[in-house]
Amino acid sequence: MKFKKAFAGIGLLMAGALALSGCAAEGGADGDGGGDAEVVQQEFPEGSTMAALQADGKITIGTKFDQPLFGLADASGLPSGFDVEIGKLIAAELGIPADSIEWRETVSQNREPFIQDGSVDIVIATYTINDTRKEVIDFAGPYYVAGQSFLVPAGNPQGVVGDPGPDDLADIAVCTVVGSTSEQNVRELNPREVITVDKYSDCLEPIRTGQADALTTDNVILAGLVDQNEGEFEVVEGTFTEEPYGIGLQKGDDEFRDFINDVLEQAYDDGSWASAWESTAGTVLPTPEPPAVDRY
């Protein structure tokens, strides 16, 4: 709880090593907390994605496996975090219990392909809604809005700032993830070097060895990594982008997108969105107001 204040103000220093593993797992163990949502039986239009998933009694959800607070897999490959809780809320409204969700690891750059080729039914993975992605998939949401910032060694030896101007990164080597908005956004600021990896957790070692000066991505992902690695890192104050998190689904499935948006709005109203936050990201971060969903 003490970190809520730090996040709003001066930066973060935090705790704990957690195992990462696995590619896919079925199950609904709560991990970080979060009670499983009550499974609802309702009637869906014939031929709809909702009816098909309900009939199957299972859903495959792509999420991150290396991001504490949002999607972090335990030793058995079962993830926990805010994104995972949002997935459980959606599954419950389809009549699917948490232990019948198949969780599939998605990294930043395979999210659209996994949705397009049917490897997953939906992606909930700190996934920014933007027009480029909307050319090939659709998004429900947003259900949270993050902002891009920097994780640096504790004490911020290079004096990295959270909202850099055109020359501020001229001496800075940044590490980020391929296929992310973070990569695109930071390249526009012309850092000395951009080191790209597949997952944000892979940026920590380059920072430890001095190969990279900073890791850049969404502030809430950074907060989770600081929390996981006690005393080693901090998040600098400030952000320089807006990252509205959406739920990725196949392009053109308006009925399914409407359904997910309805589930989100209901979760805003009945307190289950806030409970999902409090039991996961809210253990470290302040509780925000939920954003309005965009029924484009």
CB of 286 to ligand GLU, least distance (A): 19
The first and second tokens of residue 286, run together, are 């302040």
CB of 26 to ligand GLU, least distance (A): 23
First to last CA, the chain: 36
Among residues 63, 181, 219, 280, which is the contact residue for ligand GLU, using CB under 6 A? 181
b/e map of 131-149 (b: 16 or more CB within 10 Å)?
A: eebeeebbbbbbbbbbebb
Give min distance, CB of 245 to ligand GLU, in A: 7
Closest separation in Å from C-beta 102 to ligand GLU: 20
> Whose Cβ is closer to ligand GLU: residue 222's or residue 263's?
222
Is 128 a binding residue for ligand GLU by CB under 6 A? The answer is yes
Q: How far apart are CA 49 and CA 63, in angstroms?
A: 20
Do 23 and 77 contact (CB within 8 A), yes or no? yes
Give the position of tokens 């690695």: 229
The dihedrals phi and psi of 205, each to the nearest 5 degrees, come to -65, -45
Stretch that binds ligand GLU, among 12-20, 120-128, 160-168, 252-260 (CB under 6 A): 120-128
Angstrom distance (rounded) from CA 280 to CA 27: 17
**With CB under 6 A, what is the number of residues at the site for ligand GLU?**
13
Question: Residues with Cβ < 8 Å from 10, sequence gap 6 or more?
Answer: 237
Among 108, 196, 228, 229, binds ligand GLU (CB under 6 A): 108
Token digits for 260? 């997910």
- Binding ligand GLU (rule: CB under 6 A), the pick from 7, 103, 127, 259 is 127
Give the number of other CB atoms < 10 A from CB of residue 181: 21
Query: Which residue's entry shows tokens 């949705």?
Result: 115
Decide if 131 contacts 277 (C-beta within 8 A).
no
Which amino acid would we find at residue 151?
L
In the complex, what is the shortest distance from the CB of residue 243 to ligand GLU, in angstroms, rounded to a whole number? 4
Q: Does position 110 bind ligand GLU by CB under 6 A?
A: no
Nearer to ligand GLU, 97 or 113 (CB): 113
Among 32, 93, 105, 218, binds ligand GLU (CB under 6 A): 218
182 lines the binding site for ligand GLU (CB under 6 A)? yes
Site track for ligand GLU across 220-239, x = CB under 6 A: -x------------------
Residue 206, token pair as written in the block? 């380059």
Q: In this structure, are strands 101-105 and 24-26 parallel, antiparallel, or unpaired?
A: antiparallel
Closest CA relative to residue 187, chosen from 198, 197, 175, 199: 175
Q: Report in angstroms how near the CB of residue 146 gets to ligand GLU at its nearest.
A: 6
Site string for ligand GLU, 243-262 (x = CB under 6 A): x-------------------
Q: Is 180 in the site for ligand GLU (CB under 6 A)?
A: yes
Establish if 126 lies at the interface with ligand GLU (CB under 6 A).
Answer: yes
Q: Which residues bind ligand GLU (CB under 6 A)?
A: 108, 125-128, 177, 180-182, 217-218, 221, 243
